[in-house]
Chain A
Amino acid sequence: MKLRHALKYCLLLLTVAACTEQPLAPGVCPDFCPGAQIEIHDTLFATVIERDSSFRGYLQAYQGDAMTATDVPGVVDSRPFFTTDTMFARIEPVLTDTTTVPKVIDSVRVRFVVVRWPRNTTNLRLKLYRLPVNVDTTTDFASLDPYFTAPPVDSLNIYDLLAIPAIGDTQTIRLWGDSIRVDSAGHVLQISQGDSALAVYFKLDTLRAPFSEADTGRSAWGVRVAADSNASMTVGSTQTGARSPLVRWFYHYTIPDTVSTKPDSVASKDKVMPNRFDSFVFDPPTPPDDSNLAVGGVPSARAVVRVNMPKFLHDSIDIVRATLLLVPVSAPQGAPIDSFYVVARPVLGDLGAKSPVNSASSLADSAIVRIGSADTVRIELTTLFSAWSRDSTAVTTFMLEHSPEASSYTEVRFYSSRTPAYRPAMRITYVGRYQFGRP
């Protein structure tokens, strides 16, 4: 019986052991390897990109997700601004009574959320200016220049604020939601925990920021950036919601008491004003388009690039790398922090300038364009070309976009296919068809 049990266990163990396989061994080539080899080809396709052109006007400055403030003398001066909606000067203190009393303005806080700022500079400052409330889409650099060249309403130093120890007591956390840094002038800086964006608050009294009943309580503000060098930063716009510029008025009013024996009481309130418009202006403006491929600028330009896929790229090959090579006409100018991405997105259908872009496509890819560098820009489009090689009916057109679009003065121009020596090209690395079944 013991022998029988032992035999059973041996069989069980062998059965379990037999359930796994290991057929893979290091190859000793060529004597003990399959006759066929995996062959890889690396080819520069100099002429597959054709009928490329760029179009302008996709997004205006006021439609961007951010606004850039830059001051690089002799190169560019960019100034964001915004204007708020109306605020009534009177208030109904008692809900059941239509009698109104005047609001007495105490102070105002103006907030900007800095989403990008340079680390390689010193004395980085943000200067606040009061602007006319009628700023709109027609406002240009020249019309606002007198207001921006006037003495600023206030100024704060980003690095000085960052150097101040954070206040994180429970009362501060309750009011601000997080720790803050406050300087002696009452400027507040709060660092976003999510992405290190900086929310900076100017605190202004009514002398510096008078409430204007003539403007129905509206106010308009602009900022300029200053630093010892490379002065540039980007602030959030109204399109981003939580990062939009913001004005909060603090006021009080008296509640008249004609019924009880209590004396009149004073109520303090504040009101966050919705923004009516925001944008940025810069000088010099984006130059007129030419025969090159313009990407970026304001209004934003995009390049439509069409690819004439060679037939053999559809024929059982596997594209393992596809790189778009773009030669800039000149180095983009500006502050180094304003380097930006150029994104290549496939279109859903080729309708020229109005081709709908597949924004959600996982086939899109990007490359960074560095300010001051005229190096060839290489965008890896392996996933896109791989998909195209498997689908011979796909529309082989993509668009080049600035990212974030219409948020900066920056623009790059690449040579187009009309300049043969520097035309866009594709470098494609592919694995040829493996010769299966060959001994």
Chain B
Amino acid sequence: MTRRSVSLLAVLIAVGSSRLAAQNSQFGIQGLGTPGKPESVRARSTAGAFAPFDAFSPLTDASLADVRRLSASILGVTSWRTVAPTGEPESSLKETRFPVLVVAGPLTRRLVVGGGFSTYLDRTYGVILHDTIDIGGVPQPVTDEITSDGAIVDLRLAVAARLSRRLALGVGVHGLTGSTREIAKRTFADTLYGDPVTHSSTARDEVAYRGTGASASLLLDLSQALRLTGWLRSDTQLHTELTAGTIAIHDLPVSYGAGALWRAGTQLTLAGNASWSTWSATGVANSHDTFSWSVGAEIGRFSAPLRIGARSSEMPFGVGAAPKETGLSAGLAKQFSGGRGRLDFGVERLERTGTGMTEHVWTFLLGFTVRP
């Protein structure tokens, strides 16, 4: 690996580590968070349909077997989200994140090692509440701001082996880590209360998270045109900790799924998958097991394809029935420097509907992949 490539990887990691969370949702506030999408821009642009087959999407480990040389890929997303509670005014939110980084390279001709990070659960949100409370029999108007900034990140180390020309196997270990900086601020309308300047009371703390997991996946080429995959992931427990010690322990879900990819020709590839997660195992109130599916296509030359996709999934946390997320996405890519670099662009439109809330999200995706 050249010095330039090492520098490039360092820059990618530095940029990526600055803001790891994925796009958020109000549905995750009362749960453990909003699950991230372990997908590269290529996979997100096809609504996640290509994720199990894409080496730079950390959904499966077996797909790393396709990596022929040291490569790195990073994803940046900017989301504009409108939140429309039932019967309440709509509000607009915005965030920028770097939720996925994957670095992979062959150890031997049959063995590929890879790693990186992706968002496991996003816990970035801010809630503002206006209320009137009773203090000593006197009504006092107050404004509460409760904010949480951070995420639980999945650090992955994976190995993929091509067992035969048709079969690849991947396994990975996952360390769940991360923290959230949380602030609870109450501002009083009456200037006699709180800090003499801000008339508020502010409490802040940093909440740390830890857990572990393991994953395994298979990639089976039935023919040159048809590829199948299956994956399984099991995470242990999520420990939530403050300085004083552990304050909560939640079981984490088992996830599994299967997918198929069909190369319909040199200019068209179709893919689809379905997956399940047992989020109700967390024991959190209003948590649900989830089912997701997605289909997508990649059209055109590999060096500059057009991608489209559609997805539907359930969200793990929400009052009543599991909230539904449906989405359409599209994207473009451009290879340069003889295939050593690649820029991926994508746009995603999501709609989330649950009891008492509807969200609409526009997301701009930008990915950068280098193969030094």
Contact = CB atoms under 8 A, between A and B. Distances in A.
A40 B93 contact: no
Contacts of B92: 22
Interface in B230-259: 240-242, 247-248, 250
Q: Kindly name the residue among B32, B148, B355 whose own CB sees the greatest number of chain A CB atoms within 10 A.
A: B148
B135 A429 contact: yes
A43 to B, nearest CB: 9
A434 B193 contact: no
Interface stretch (B21-29, B162-170, B216-224, B306-314): B21-29
A316 B32 CA distance: 25
Interface string A409-439: 0000000000000000001010101101111
- By DSSP majority rule, is chain B's interface helix, strand, loop, or mixed? strand
A290 to B, nearest CB: 32
A13 to B, nearest CB: 11
B146 A31 contact: no
A33 B129 contact: yes
B149 A23 contact: yes
Chain A: number of interface residues, binned into ranges: 35 or more
Given A14-B364, A31-B356, A38 B186 contact: yes
Contacts of A32: 26-27, 29-30, 85, 127, 356-357
Contacts of A38: 144, 146, 184, 186, 201, 203
Given A33-B29, A439-B284, A25 B126 contact: yes
Contacts of A20: 94
A95 interface: no
A42 B135 contact: yes
B356 A33 contact: no
B202 interface: yes
A125 to B, nearest CB: 41
B30 A33 contact: yes
Contact of B356 (A22, A23, A28): A28
B135 A40 contact: yes
B30 A34 contact: yes
A34 to B, nearest CB: 5
A431 B140 CA distance: 14
A283 interface: no
Interface in B168-190: 180, 182, 184, 186, 188
B184 A320 contact: no
Contact of A19 (B85, B96, B194, B205): B96
Interface residues of B, number: 63
B94 A21 contact: yes
B87 to A, nearest CB: 9
A51 to B, nearest CB: 27
A434 B240 CA distance: 15
A139 to B, nearest CB: 44
A35 B364 CA distance: 31
B17 interface: no
A383 B94 contact: no
A18 B332 CA distance: 20
A6 B274 CA distance: 38
Nearest to B96: A18
Contact of A433 (B78, B94, B203, B284): B203
A25 B27 contact: no
B193 A321 contact: yes
A30 B318 CA distance: 11
Interface in A1-47: 11, 14, 17-36, 38, 40, 42
B196 interface: yes
Contacts of B125: 23, 25
Contacts of B31: 439
A316 B201 CA distance: 12
A439 B136 CA distance: 30
B186 A431 contact: yes
A299 to B, nearest CB: 34
Contacts of B127: 24-27, 32-34
9 contacts: A18-B76, A22-B92, A34-B29, A34-B30, A321-B193, A382-B192, A431-B203, A437-B241, A439-B30
Sorted from nearest, which 8 A-B pairs have the closest CB atoms?
A24-B126, A27-B127, A437-B207, A23-B126, A28-B85, A434-B184, A18-B96, A18-B78
Interface of B: 24, 26-27, 29-32, 76, 78, 83, 85, 88-89, 91-96, 124-130, 133, 135-136, 144-149, 180, 182, 184, 186, 188, 192-196, 201-203, 205, 207, 240-242, 247-248, 250, 284, 319, 355-357, 364, 366
